[in-house]
Structures are given as structure tokens and as C-alpha cells.
């Protein structure tokens, strides 16, 4: 059973994108190659700002929704900077 992760990246335009994955390195590489998500395409390179490990895809999806509902300020408080 693979672990799942919720991650947040900062795009080159300063915007924040939150998603889930079970392979962080592969997902970040995809974002930076312009293939990770429609939103990040053309906004690369992206920088990892937050990473949270969860035990299931369902839990990761729930947490992703929670984070997406946060204000930018709240999201920045999660940031690893």
C-alpha cells in the first residue's frame, strides 16, 4: 500500500497550486515539464512549498479540499519557507 501526499507548489507567477500524488518527485517533474496539470502548464517552474503524507488516497483528497478552501494567507502559513 502506497502512501499518498498532498502537496502545494508555488508557480513562477507567484500563484499557489495544491494537488495529490503517490510519487512526489515524478509529479513535480511533470509540472516542471508543463505536463503536470492544466493550471501549472505555462506557469513553471514550480517550487515545492508544502508536503503532507497521508495513509490513503481518500484522506489525501479530503485534505486537498481543506487546503484549497484556505485563504492565501493560511496556505502561506503551511508553507515550508
pLDDT tens-digit profile of 8-57?
999 999 999 999 999 999 999 999 999 888 999 989 899 999 999 999 99
Higher pLDDT, 39 or 80: 39
Residue 81, pLDDT above cutoff 90: no
Contact 27, 36 (CB under 8 A): yes
pLDDT of res. 79: 80
pLDDT at 80 over 90: no
Across 11-80, where does the E strand assignment appear? 16-21, 47-54
Pick the CATH number of 4-78 from 3.30.420.40, 1.10.1740.110, 3.40.1440.10, 3.10.180.10: 3.40.1440.10
- The domain spans of the chain are 4-78
Per-residue cell: 52: 503532507
Amino acid at each position: 500500500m502506497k502512501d499518498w501526499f498532498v502537496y502545494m507548489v508555488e508557480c513562477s507567477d507567484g500563484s499557489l497550486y495544491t494537488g495529490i500524488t503517490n510519487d512526489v518527485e515524478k509529479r513535480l517533474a511533470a509540472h516542471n515539464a508543463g505536463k503536470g496539470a492544466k493550471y501549472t502548464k505555462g506557469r513553471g517552474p514550480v517550487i515545492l512549498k508544502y508536503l503532507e503524507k497521508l495513509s490513503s488516497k481518500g484522506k489525501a483528497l479530503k485534505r486537498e479540499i481543506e487546503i484549497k478552501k484556505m485563504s492565501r494567507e493560511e496556505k502561506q502559513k503551511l508553507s515550508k519557507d
